[in-house]
Structures are given as C-alpha cells and as structure tokens.
Structure 1
Amino acid sequence: MKNQRILFALFLIYFVFAILLNSVGTVILQVIGNYGVSKSSASVLEGFKDLPIAIVSFLVASFLPRLGYKKSMLIGLAIVTLACTAMPLLPSFLTTKLLFLCVGVAFALVKVSVYSTLGLVATDRKQHASLMNLLEGFFMLGVLSAYWVFGYFIDSSDAKSSSWLQVYWVLALLCALTFALLLSTPFDEDRAALPPARGIARDFAAMLQLFFKPLVCVFVITAFLYVLIEQSVGTWLPTFNNEILKLPAAMSVQVTSIFAACLAIGRLSAGVLMRRLNWYPVMNACVVGMAAMVLLALPLTHDVVADPHIGWSTAPLATFLFPLIGLFMAPIYPAINSVMLSSLPKHQHSAMTGLLVIFSALGGTTGSLITGYVFGSFSGHFAFYLTLLPISIVLIMLYFFKNAVNHNEGEFDGSAIISSQH
C-alpha cells in the first residue's frame, strides 16, 4: 500500500509536468498571435525550458540523494505553482519566458528524483522496466490532456485574446494539490544514500565518469537524437496545422493530441510486443516506420486551400496521418532508459538520470530551434522533411547501442532487461 501511494504521487507529478512541458508548441502559437512575436523569437521558449533542465541537472543530479528525492520534488512543485500563478496576473512574453525557465529548473529536480525513486520502489529489473514504461505512458497521457485543456481556453476567433491564460489557474491548483499529496506521502530513501565520506566534488566527478563508459556514451547520444526528433514534431505541429493545413487555432492544438495519444498508446501497449520479439529488430522497425510516415504524410500537405467552415470531418487526410508517427516513436525512449538505470547500483541512478536529462534537454532545444528557424526561413514542409536526417542517424546509433550492450552484457545484462521492456 505504501509503494502504491508513492507510485501514485510519482505518476501525478509526471502528469502535471507533462502538461507544463509540452505546452510549448501551444504557447508558441498563442504568443505569436497574442503578443506579435516572430516565429524565430517564439522558438526560444523551448530553450528557456530545456537549457535550465540541462544546467540544473548537471549541477545538482549527482548529490540529490543527499538533499533527498522527496524534498527535491516538493521544491520543484512549489516553483511551478508560483510560476503558473504569475502567468494570468502578469501577462507578457517575458513572463512566458520566466514560466518556462521555472518549469525547466523544477523538472530537472523532479525527473532525476522520480526516476531514482522508481529504482527504490522496483523489486527487480522486470518490474523496473514495467514501471518505467507505465510512467512514460502516463506522461504522454498528460501531454494528451494538455492539448485539450489549453484548447478549451483558446479563442479561435480572436488571435489577440488573452483567454488562454486562464488555463494557468487550473494548472496552479493541480500543482498545489500534487504538492499536498506528496508532502503527506512517506518515503524511505535509505538505499539511495551516498557514501558519507564522499564529498559533493567526488559525487560530481563520479557522474562525469559515467559518461565515458561506451554503453553510456552511446545511450546519451541516442537519447539526444530521439528527443530532438520528438520535440521538433511535437513543438511545431500546432503551428504546422494552423499555417500549412489551415486549421483554426483551437483545432490546431486539439488535433495535435493525436500525436500525444499515439505516443501514450505505443508506450502503454508496447510491453506485449517486446516480450515476444527481440528488441533490436523492433527498434529498427520503429525508426523505419517514423521515416515512412514523414515520406507518406508530408506530400499530402501541399496546396491545402483555406476553408472557413473546416471541421474534424473535413480536415485534410494529413491532419490525422502524420501524427501517427508517434506510434513508431513510442517504444524507443523507455527501452533505452530502462536498460541503463536498472543496470546500475541504486545510488548511481540519480547521476545517470542527470546525464539523461541533460542530453534530452539539449536535444529538445536543438530540435525546436532548428525547426523554428527552418519553418520561418523556408517552409513548414522542409522543416519536417529535415527530421529524416536525425531519424537516419538514430538508426545507425541503435546498431552501436546493440553492439555496446552485447559487449557489456556481463556487466549490464542488457538482453535480459530489454526483453522485458514495456
């Protein structure tokens, strides 16, 4: 019962941050119309979110076990509660930047703590893999909810309407309730304790040393590229729907929920497939499927004519086809994460997650900035076609990842972990 309450708290925290983190694409669309911000300027919001995640993770991940995972999560929730409250009270592009900066700082504390706490709750590698996929699937349910929650408050008839800012009162309340639940939930963090004689400097050095393990190095590069692709698509899909497919603003946001739903369905259901098939060909098939969706759907987005009466039944086919790329993306991220974390001692989970968070954040920022620049300077079509390049590199990196796992199977027992993915 105690572990169930801890897991519920962790899943709820991840649900809250899923809404906040993945609202960037929606907020970009709104600030462009609401505050008259250019696309290239709006794209920096991804950086305001992701760079603090990377910096804070780099600085604090190695010694979070000394601070305590529960305290770290409480601090993160308190920060975002205050930031959400500021959005409707002080509406401006500057406040929006500060919101995502606060979300980034808070998520660095939260993700490292949540991932590390999973290692404390899980009794074996199979359960760890199951919980990891359930957590990431629940995260995508939060992403899915975000599009509809924000879409409800958006006024499609007035691009300059500030009605969308009222959503942050709802989010502030949700953050506060999650804070209260976590505060009242008992945690046992003894197994994550670091050696008492080791100082903060040595904790930090130990985290950096992890990066030079071949398997870890290949892992973080693959994670970087994966998040680059996911954020390129997820962040700019609402704007793509609005400007290229000519959908109304609210519908542009809501229809993006198909992408999030595909990621959620893929992550929650992939376990059945992964228990029966070898992970490597499945991962290859997923990457090839991603490329196929790009090549199949994007040609259908050319020469779309604006229709003032457009609705769900009359939207272009590409509106529903392209987001299906999420089904193929879904299994990759949880699989490689569980391989690493369930293979390390409990006290190293924080440091390893720190490296993961750093490279994931850098990947998200890089993907959003590149896509935003190309979208504004060339076209939305070319921006999304460009994802074929990192998709191809991921396919190559998976080959090296497989070889690294096989080479280190005595130490990491990678095949056993991956066979139990999802």
Structure 2
Amino acid sequence: MTGTQAGADSKIIRWLTYMMFMMFAMTTDAVGVIIPEVMKDFDLSMTAAGMLHYGPMLAIALSGILFGFLADRLGRKRTIILGLALFSITAYLFLAGSSFAYYLGLMMISGVAIGIFKTAALALIGDISTSTTQHTSTMNGVEAFFGVGAIIGPLLVTYMLTQGVDWKWLYIFAATFCVALIIMALLVKYPESKHIPENPITLKQTLKMLKDPYALGFSLGAFLYVATESAIYVWMPTLLLDYSGNALFLATYALTIFFVLRAAGRFLGIWMMARFNWAVVMSLFSLAILLCFVGTIIGGTDMAVYLLPLSGLFMSVIYPTLNSKGISCFRKQNHGGAAGVILFFTALGAAFGPLTMGLVSDSYGGKAEYGFMVAAIFAGLLFVGLLINQLKSLTDARLQALEETEYS
C-alpha cells in the first residue's frame, strides 16, 4: 500500500470512528426524552422507567470488562464489525415487539454491542496515533462527535413525537446508519498492528489490569467524572423545574446549552491538548467544575441556572483525556482490554451517580438540591485526584516510556 493510500484510509477510519460515537450517543442520550413516553404508555413509576437508563449502562459496563479483550484478540476491524452488526440487528427488532420488558431487553443487548465496538474503536485510536499527545487530541475529537450525537438524539426524538412518530423509529434510523458504517468498515483497509502479542489476549489478562495502579487510578477518575456529569443530564431538569427567576429562557434550555458547551469544548480540546500540559488543564478545569457545583449549593437555583450549564464547558476535556491517558499507559496490544476496564467504571459511574443522588434527594423530601451536594462530593474527589497527579507527576514516567516504545 502506498503512503498516500494509507493516509487516505487513516482519515476514513478516523471519520468512521467519529460517526460510530455520534450514532450511539444519539440513542443512549435520547433515553431521557423516551422515559416520559414509556411511563405514559405502560403506567410506570419513575424508578421502573429509569431502568431504560440503568439497564443499558450496566450492560455497557459488563460488556467492557468481559469483552474488551476481543479487540486485542480478534483485531480491531472484526470486533468493530461484530459490535455494529449486533447493535443494528437489535435496533431493527424494536419494531417486532411492544412491551416494556421487550424494550428493556433490547436496550440491554444494544448496551453489550456498544461495549464491544466502543472498546475496539478506542483501541484503534492508538493504532492510528503517532504519539500520546495526538492520541489525546483524537480522543477529544471522538468525544466531541459523541457530544454532537447527544444533542441530535434528544432533538430528533422530540421532533418525531411532535409529528406523531413513535420514538422507536430513532432506533430504526440508528440501525440503518449502522449498516452504512459496517459497509464502509468492510471496504477500508485497517492498519496492521506492529504489536502482536505472542500469546492470545484473554479475559483473565484483562481482569489482571484491575490490579494495575494506573488502570485503577484512571478508571476511578472516569467513575467520579461520569458520576458528576450525569448529575447534570439526569437531575438538572428536576432541580430547575420550579424555577421562576429572571432567566427563564436559560432554565428552559439549560440541558441543551450544557450539551452544546460540552461539544464545543471538546472541539476546542483537540487544539488545547496538543499545546498545553494536560495535567495542568485537567486540574484547573476540574476545579472550575467543583466551583460550579459549590456555587449551586450556596446560591440555589438562581445560581444553578447559570453555573450548571456553564460546567459543560469545563467538563468537555476531562473524560476524553482521562480515557486517552489511561489507555496510553499500556502497550498497544493491550489497548482493547484497558479501554474495557475504563469503560466498565465509566458506565458504573453513570448508573451509580444518579441513583445515589436520587436516593439522597428522596430521603430529604424529594428536594433535588440535596442530591447535588452528593455530586459536589464527586466533583471534589475528582479535583483532589487530578491535583495530586499534577503535583506529583504520577503518570509522566509511564507515559514517556510508552511514548518511546509504542509510538516512536
């Protein structure tokens, strides 16, 4: 293959990865709009209908830890196509049933599929990156398109519902999009890894990563970040439900503004992480997130209407950078397993954070502000961890060593 052709294939692969993340964000982040419809259709409580969020998150978590090794064992291309195929079949099946248990089952299977192709796609980023810095910039690009999908999905479902179209057609659209991605993936030549392991990667080897301090540290960071972030898109609408101040427009579109700022910040992160010390940026931005939550607790909804949407700008670079640096702390032959471990803690945080906030709020008479005190604790722990990493340079030596052996 010529260098020109290899470069063209690399660009196509990069865009395929962007589109995969945008596609699955459209479905996972639209659940908040779908839940009220399901509650009406099946006369469910909030706790029961919330399984449409917790169920897939749990499935993604288990899929990441159990099947993350497939990307290292079967190869990136085969694993991506396997995950996309399972997702598309599951999505098309939404037209074949009409019970809550049936929908929940399909969403959980789609969560398994997402875990499979997402870990492979994350591992692939290492194959097409020439340095850990480029890896982090690319990861911010991937998550930026995830952010775009998180905006498109809810808007699309809302529009369909106003037109009398069933929300299930979102999954039919996603399935068709998935088929197109599979066809493109089959036609493009993926890079051949120069880091083939002598022994096949196994689930046992992936589980051993849980004992590695770098895997555990970055995974806990991802857990704390997602537990903090999910406070916004799950509970901010509830917190601002009775807002009657002077910023009604902001209160009405607070969640959309949050998603837009998060997506815009990630596009900015592509440039920022290529030029500034990532550890310093992470410490400063996590401090800004903490201040947004503390300001919300002190100032109530009058401050929350401004500060919580603004936090999206500071949250933008945190998760993709944690993900990138955590994966980059391992040899490329183990990137699939590392991505799976981090994904496990990510999805766990997405389920545990909102659940804990809901329980605390309920114990204080259903007042959402008490739940945001829990979120502030998550944000505080995240800041402390990132500040310690910056001050003590905990990861510099490991990243530098792998920069020389894996990317040079």
Give the TM-score taking structure 1 as reference length: 0.82
Describe the superposition over 1:24-58 as per-residue Cα deviations: whole angstroms up to 9, x where unpaired.
32222332333322122222223211222222222
2:330 match: secondary structure:
coil
Is 1:7 matched with 2:23? Answer: no
1:123 match: secondary structure:
coil
Aligned-pair CA distance for 1:264: 0.9
Shift in CA distance, 127/287, structure 1 to aligned 2, threshold 3 Å? closer
Query: 1:174 — aligned with what?
Result: 177
Is 1:219 matched with 2:194? Answer: no
Query: 2:389 — aligned with what?
Result: 401
Q: 2:380 aligns with which of 392, 412, 419?
A: 392
2:283–2:390 Cα contact (<8 Å) kept: no
1:26–1:253 Cα contact (<8 Å) kept: no
Structure 2: gaps (5+ residues): 1-7, 245-249
Describe the superposition over 1:120-169 as per-residue Cα deviations: whole angstroms up to 9, x where unpaired.
1112223222211111111111112112112212349xxxx773333333
AA matched with 2:16: A
Shift in CA distance, 414/332, structure 1 to aligned 2, threshold 3 Å? farther
Distance in 2 separating the partners of 1:365 and 1:414: 35
AA matched with 2:340: G
Superposed, 1:198-209 pairs within 5 Å as 198-199=199-200, 203-209=202-208
Describe the superposition over 1:172-208 as per-residue Cα deviations: whole angstroms up to 9, x where unpaired.
322222222222222234435332xx255xx333323
Shift in CA distance, 137/192, structure 1 to aligned 2, threshold 3 Å? farther
- Matched pairs, number: 390
Query: 2:265 — aligned with what?
Result: 266
Superposed, 1:132-211 pairs within 5 Å as 132-155=139-162, 163-195=166-198, 198-199=199-200, 203-211=202-210
Shift in CA distance, 278/65, structure 1 to aligned 2, threshold 3 Å? closer
1:72–1:109 Cα contact (<8 Å) kept: yes
1:187 match: secondary structure:
coil
2:215–2:341 Cα contact (<8 Å) kept: no
1:25–1:235 Cα contact (<8 Å) kept: yes
Is 1:84 matched with 2:87? Answer: no
Shift in CA distance, 415/350, structure 1 to aligned 2, threshold 3 Å? closer
Query: 1:312 — aligned with what?
Result: none
Shift in CA distance, 296/190, structure 1 to aligned 2, threshold 3 Å? closer
AA matched with 1:394: L
Query: 2:346 — aligned with what?
Result: 360
Aligned-pair CA distance for 1:392: 1.0
2:70–2:79 Cα contact (<8 Å) kept: no
Query: 1:333 — aligned with what?
Result: 319
Query: 1:411 — aligned with what?
Result: 398
1:287–1:395 Cα contact (<8 Å) kept: yes
Is 1:381 matched with 2:369? Answer: yes
Distance in 2 separating the partners of 1:155 and 1:238: 20
1:232–1:367 Cα contact (<8 Å) kept: yes
Aligned-pair CA distance for 1:109: 0.6
2:65–2:207 Cα contact (<8 Å) kept: no
Query: 1:351 — aligned with what?
Result: 337
Shift in CA distance, 189/240, structure 1 to aligned 2, threshold 3 Å? farther
Is 1:99 matched with 2:106? Answer: yes
Superposed, 1:62-77 pairs within 5 Å as 62-77=69-84
1:280–1:402 Cα contact (<8 Å) kept: yes
Shift in CA distance, 274/65, structure 1 to aligned 2, threshold 3 Å? closer
1:344 match: secondary structure:
coil
Superposed, 1:274-289 pairs within 5 Å as 274=273, 277-289=276-288
Aligned-pair CA distance for 1:300: 7.1
Query: 2:4 — aligned with what?
Result: none
AA matched with 1:168: Y
What percent of counterpart residues are identical? Answer: 25
1:20–1:103 Cα contact (<8 Å) kept: no
Shift in CA distance, 371/84, structure 1 to aligned 2, threshold 3 Å? farther
Give the TM-score taking structure 2 as reference length: 0.84
Distance in 1 separating the partners of 2:195 and 2:110: 25
Q: 1:112 aligns with which of 113, 119, 125?
A: 119
Structure 1: gaps (5+ residues): 303-315, 418-422
1:144–1:261 Cα contact (<8 Å) kept: yes
Superposed, 1:252-263 pairs within 5 Å as 256-263=255-262
AA matched with 2:317: P
Distance in 2 separating the partners of 1:134 and 1:178: 18
1:153–1:163 Cα contact (<8 Å) kept: yes
Is 1:370 matched with 2:369? Answer: no
Describe the superposition over 1:293-352 as per-residue Cα deviations: whole angstroms up to 9, x where unpaired.
2344567775xxxxxxxxxxxxx9955652221111111112222223234321011111
